[in-house]
């Protein structure tokens, strides 16, 4: 009889998770009756030790706020995960826990789908695990960027229309505006946007955040995080299936 394959997601306040539905639908389509996908809602990353003690877990996804904090609990990192400094996928094989970053793959797919030649400089809003994957891909494609953070030299208080105008690519990497807080929006000078701007908001729930709506009202081309999410999930699936053999 086939061994039971246990997969799951580590995060905090993640009852709205896309991943569980996505992978359970995949199991159905592929008639994989021996696969399950669980949600591990942790208050603190130290609780992950309990999950790892279950010798039957084959792979995990990692989401906010643990993409960086998970690293000390792993045995190995892929090249990308090491360079990025954030992990969103773990393969457990022969008792070795290896971290990967498939966010970078998903973001790259999204970027290349929408990017035009004039998108040569970017503003990255936020500096968490997702922002690190975004930086990695922008560097790979020779796109210069500045990061806007709450407490950095460039922050949401001193970000001007002028600065926005000079950066035709804007990537929103904070969780502000995620369900259920759909009315929330970053303090951002939307009037600096033009029809030449591409605004990518990595949030996928809701489909249209307040941020994306405001960007669209100011003529920017917009994309949400759904395609990135699907692509990073497919890449995780590939890692669990190709590398575990």
The residues annotated as belonging to the active site are 67
Contact between 85 and 68 under an 8 Å Cβ cutoff? The reply is yes
Chain center to CA of 84: 12
Contact between 89 and 71 under an 8 Å Cβ cutoff? The reply is no
Region of 188 please: left (phi>0), alpha (psi -120 to 50) or beta. Answer: beta
């Amino acid at each position: 009889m086939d061994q039971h394959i246990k997969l799951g997601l580590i995060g905090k306040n993640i009852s709205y998770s896309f991943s569980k539905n996505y992978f359970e639908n995949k199991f159905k389509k592929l008639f994989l009756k021996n696969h399950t996908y669980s949600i591990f809602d942790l208050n603190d990353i130290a609780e992950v030790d309990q999950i790892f003690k279950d010798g039957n877990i084959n792979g995990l996804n990692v989401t906010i706020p643990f993409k960086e904090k998970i690293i000390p609990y792993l045995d190995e990192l892929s090249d990308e995960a090491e360079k990025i400094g954030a992990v969103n996928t773990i393969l457990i094989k022969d008792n070795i826990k290896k971290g990967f970053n498939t966010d970078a793959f998903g973001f790259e797919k999204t970027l290349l789908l929408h990017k035009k030649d004039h998108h040569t400089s970017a503003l990255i809003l936020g500096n968490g695990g997702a922002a690190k994957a975004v930086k990695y891909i922008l560097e790979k494609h020779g796109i210069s960027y500045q990061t806007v953070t709450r407490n950095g030299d460039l922050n949401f208080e001193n970000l001007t229309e002028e600065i926005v105008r000079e950066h035709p690519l804007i990537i929103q990497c904070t969780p502000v505006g995620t369900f259920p807080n759909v009315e929330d929006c970053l303090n951002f000078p939307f009037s600096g946007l033009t029809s030449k701007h591409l605004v990518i908001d990595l949030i996928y729930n809701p489909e249209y955040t307040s941020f994306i709506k405001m960007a669209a009202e100011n003529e920017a081309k917009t994309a949400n995080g759904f395609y990135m999410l699907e692509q990073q999930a497919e890449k995780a699936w590939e890692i669990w299936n190709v590398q575990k053999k």
